[in-house]
Structure 1
Amino acid sequence: MWRCLRPTPRHAIFAVRVLIAFAIPPFAFAHEAHPDHAVAASTEERAFLDENDAAMTKMMNGMAAKPSGDIDRDFTAMMIPHHQGAIDMAVLELRYGKNEQLRRIAQEIIVDQLQEIAAMKLAIGESVTETAPAPTQPAPAAAAATAPHHSDMQMNMSPDQMK
């Protein structure tokens, strides 16, 4: 039984190939993840790129949670900012995007990710605000004072403002 677990040169070569496969893509695609803002075609695209960079930075900083010793809490501490980042980026698609199919997908992303965030919070015993407005809709006056903000970005917009 232990014989199959003994490393051989074939195992070492396979391990090196796996490491290379995972190491090269981040370097090869690093430039693609953040396009050069100097080539932005319009003020609107520049605004989109700037806001998207801010959303990505916020998400990555939020995902860098310190371990608490509780795997479930650590998982949610990293996943909730990840899901919130998806929401923030979907809001930007609604604000700046023109493709109706992508705008519908962005709306679905927002709903799905909000539901998953709520489910994760409930799973670890945190409370969830039931009356939080959709992030792209204006908050009712009473709920606006008590509802938590889903993002630092201005997401409480009317549909006309998103176009």
Structure 2
Amino acid sequence: MPSIFLTASRARFVTAAVFPVVVMSLGMGVSLAHAAGPSNAGPEAPFLAENDDAMTRMMDAMSIKPSGDVDHDFVGMMLPHHQGAIDMAQAELRYGHNEQLRRIAQEIVVEQQQEIIAMRLALGQPLPPSAPAPDQAQPPSSPASPHAVPPEASSTKTMSMPMSSMRMKQESK
């Protein structure tokens, strides 16, 4: 029977893996609680709905059964966490208007994709399929954002890999 008490090292692992999600959830909870008011049907509604879906998918996917392999479990929780960040950043790119935040959202997409690749490589897992560049994100059923670059204007569909990941892969050979 597993112990209900956490060892110090497991507590640090759980804290490191879960803390960012809790912080994001609290922030989203405040935003979504505000959205539940009468102004819910306004222009922000599609953004809020998309973010709520992203948070739900992320939280569900992060609820994994421990495998007994700390590295595998860490990656099992971090991959959906990173994908959730990508999904939320893409919603900002679709609906946001602040250029500084849109640039940050683009960076989040690229950096989180790179970290997903690095974690998968570290465990010898297959890489995800390449995704459109962050400035190409379009809402599923709405017209193009005035800030988005039309797909025909950019053919960038590759994902770059951080140098540290490439070194890590080469050193493991």
Q: TM-score range by the shorter chain?
A: 0.5 to 0.7
Determine the structure 2 residue equivalent to 1:64: 63
Quick one: structure 1 residues 41 and 57, their matched pair in 2 at CA, closer, same or farther if it must change by over 3 Å? closer
Give the drift of 1:43.
3.2
What SS does structure 1 have at the residue aligned with 2:106?
helix
Partner in structure 1 of residue 52 of structure 2: 53
In 2, Cα distance between the equivalents of 1:86 and 1:54? 12
Which amino acid is 2:101 matched to? L
The CA RMSD measured in Å over matched residues stands at 3.2
Per the normalisation by structure 2, the TM-score is 0.59
Q: Distance in 2 between matches of 1:134 and 1:58?
A: 22
Whether contact under 8 Å (1:136, 1:159) holds in the other structure is no
- Following the alignment from structure 1 to structure 2, what is the Cα–Cα distance between the partners of residues 41 and 33? 11
Task: Report the Cα distance in structure 2 between the residues aligned to 1:136 and 1:158, rounded to whole angstroms.
Answer: 11
- AA in 2 matched with 1:32: V
> Paired residue for 1:35, among 30, 33, 36?
33
Amino acid at match of 1:134: A
In structure 2, the CA distance between the partners of 1:161 and 1:113, relative to structure 1 (3 Å rule), is: same
**Counterparts of 1:34 and 1:159 in 2: how far apart (Å)?**
23
Aligned to 1:13: none
Rg comparison, structure with higher value: 1
In the other structure, the counterpart of 2:122 is 123
Query: Secondary structure, in 3 states, of the residue corresponding to 2:126?
Result: coil
Shift of 1:40: 3.0
The answer to whether the 8 Å contact 1:51/1:92 transfers is yes
Distance in 2 (CA, whole Å) between partners of 1:158 and 1:122 is 34
Q: With the length of structure 1 as denominator, give the TM-score of the two structures.
A: 0.63
**Contact kept in structure 2, 1:44 and 1:96, CA below 8 Å:** no
Provide the C-alpha distance between the structure 2 equivalents of 1:47 and 1:102, rounded to a whole number of angstroms. Answer: 18
What's the CA shift string for 1:78-113, capped at 9, x where partnerless? 000000000000001001100000000000000000
Q: Distance in 2 between matches of 1:101 and 1:95?
A: 14
Instruction: Report deviation, 1:160.
Output: 4.5
Instruction: Check conservation: 1:94, 1:106, Cα contact below 8 A.
Output: yes
Percent sequence identity is 52
Which residue does the alignment assign to 1:111?
A: 110
